[in-house]
Structure 1
Amino acid sequence: MLTSKRRRKKMGFYKVTVGVMGSSKSARAIAEVQNLKVRNLKTLVIKPELDTRDGGYICSRLIKDKVKADILLNPEESLPIDEIISNNYDYIVVDEFHMLSEMQVKELYQISAISSTNVSMYGLRMSWKGTPFSSAALALAYADEIEIIKMVDKDQHTLSHHIKYTNGIPSPLGENENTIVVGDLDKTSYTTVSKLDFYKIYKMLGQVEK
């Protein structure tokens, strides 16, 4: 029994929180980091370098607070697993994890499996093309705990998809772009919709099966 308890203490948990754009993911990540630091828990903050909107900070449109990332991960970069474990972090908090590579998602899972460091991830499930991000699919498969931030429209349909508009017109699904980014807001915008509305719009464009 004692051996079993010791083994459990050595393993962290791997929690994944997902939601659509505007569902307070980054605000929750900021609040978690602040709460952990108030409790004097050693915390490592990570965000992908591909998220260029706020530079080296986790920011939210919903709150004024922001948190500086300790590590900005390049898509080709491996996590320094041994260094992170030797630093005895209590928590790793990752924002916009869907922009990480599958390798990086796996490395974060490995850290939670071979050390007592808990990993908490925030991000999107779906790209604007209506397909899961590969990194999100992997993270959800690894997760010990999954939280889905639910948002609904006026008809109580769950908002789960995004539509990219360019100059007021839905962008073709065949466009060579696999991530949601903030571009020229005069030309590009994103709308969060239910899967019903997503398929209605693209059905009209002849881009999905009837």
Structure 2
Amino acid sequence: MGFFKVTVGVMGSSKSARAIAEVQNLKVRNLKTLVLKPALDTRDGGYICSRLIKDQVKADILLKSDESLKINEIIANNYDYIVVDEFHMLSEEQIKELYQISAISTTNISMYGLRMSWKGTPFPSAALALGYADEIEMIKMVDKDQNPLSHHIKYTNGIPSSLVQESETIVVGDLSATSYTTVSKVDFYKIYQMLGQVEE
């Protein structure tokens, strides 16, 4: 049986940098490692990249959202580790498959990603992964008042995006002006209370 470790943190908390460092460390130790990331993560193409370091790691598998893992083939290859970046973009079925691999083989699973969407709710795949986890590491970041940073607010043209907005919705204006800010849950709710989108 392998272990199933989940590392979560907000944007900018060095998740991908840690994933890169882990892969490099495993390879230096000659441990057979499979690197996986969701195809939905189009920002860096087929690589795990970080804004914090120059190093990058090429993914062995870019997993499409409707694609199943080849469990028997992966187990037959006797990987010591599977390292997954941006796991919150995987489907719940793919999370189950990774957990199954750790349960019926000696392959260790190490995953990095977000817990919360910008709408203030947990990603379903993240909630499932945290439930399966043998070990959870939460990368702690705080604001100037030492409040833990846990939520993200999406801004489009300087205005917080509507919580009821579908992700596919086209917003009138300069779409290149879309940005995300990491905030505490206190600030998240204060902002959306002012917008009348959450109950007082």
> What is the TM-score normalised by the length of structure 1?
0.92
Which residue in the other structure is 2:149 paired with?
A: 159
Question: Which whole-Å CA distance do the structure 1 matches of 2:71 and 2:117 have between them?
Answer: 28
**Aligned Cα root-mean-square deviation (Å):** 1.0
Match of 2:65 among 67, 70, 75: 75
Aligned residue identity for 1:141:
G
Q: 1:153 to 1:185 in 2, by over 3 A?
A: farther
1:23 matches 2:45: no
Match of 1:191 among 178, 181, 193: 181
Question: Which whole-Å CA distance do the structure 1 matches of 2:35 and 2:72 have between them?
Answer: 17
Question: Which whole-Å CA distance do the structure 2 matches of 1:176 and 1:73 have between them?
Answer: 23
Percent identity between matched residues is 85
Match of 1:121 among 80, 104, 111: 111
Which residue in the other structure is 2:138 paired with?
A: 148
Question: Which whole-Å CA distance do the structure 2 matches of 1:130 and 1:177 have between them?
Answer: 14
Q: Are 2:3 and 2:108, in contact at CA under 8 Å, matched by a contact in 1?
A: yes
Which residue in the other structure is 2:33 paired with?
A: 43
Which residue in the other structure is 2:91 paired with?
A: 101
Which residue in the other structure is 1:7 paired with?
A: none
Which residue in the other structure is 2:43 paired with?
A: 53
Which residue in the other structure is 2:82 paired with?
A: 92
Q: Are 2:156 and 2:175, in contact at CA under 8 Å, matched by a contact in 1?
A: no
Question: Which whole-Å CA distance do the structure 2 matches of 1:115 and 1:185 have between them?
Answer: 45
1:13 matches 2:6: no
Which secondary structure state, in structure 1, belongs to the residue aligned with residue 111 of structure 2? Answer: strand
Which secondary structure state, in structure 1, belongs to the residue aligned with residue 193 of structure 2? Answer: helix
Q: Are 2:151 and 2:188, in contact at CA under 8 Å, matched by a contact in 1?
A: yes
Q: Are 2:157 and 2:175, in contact at CA under 8 Å, matched by a contact in 1?
A: no
Aligned residue identity for 2:66:
E
Cα deviation code 1:96-152 (max 9, x no counterpart):
000000000000000000000000000000000000000000000000000000000
Which secondary structure state, in structure 1, belongs to the residue aligned with residue 36 of structure 2? Answer: strand
Report the alpha carbon displacement of residue 12 of structure 1 after superposing the two structures with TM.
Answer: 0.1
Which residue in the other structure is 1:171 paired with?
A: 161
Report the alpha carbon displacement of residue 186 of structure 1 after superposing the two structures with TM.
Answer: 3.3
Match of 2:195 among 201, 205, 208: 205
Cα deviation code 1:146-174 (max 9, x no counterpart):
00000000000000000000000000001
Which residue in the other structure is 1:181 paired with?
A: none
Gaps of 5+ in 1: 1-10, 179-183
Report the alpha carbon displacement of residue 177 of structure 1 after superposing the two structures with TM.
Answer: 1.8
> What is the TM-score normalised by the length of structure 2?
0.96
Report the alpha carbon displacement of residue 48 of structure 1 after superposing the two structures with TM.
Answer: 0.1
Question: Which whole-Å CA distance do the structure 2 matches of 1:128 and 1:162 have between them?
Answer: 5
Question: Which whole-Å CA distance do the structure 2 matches of 1:141 and 1:117 have between them?
Answer: 19
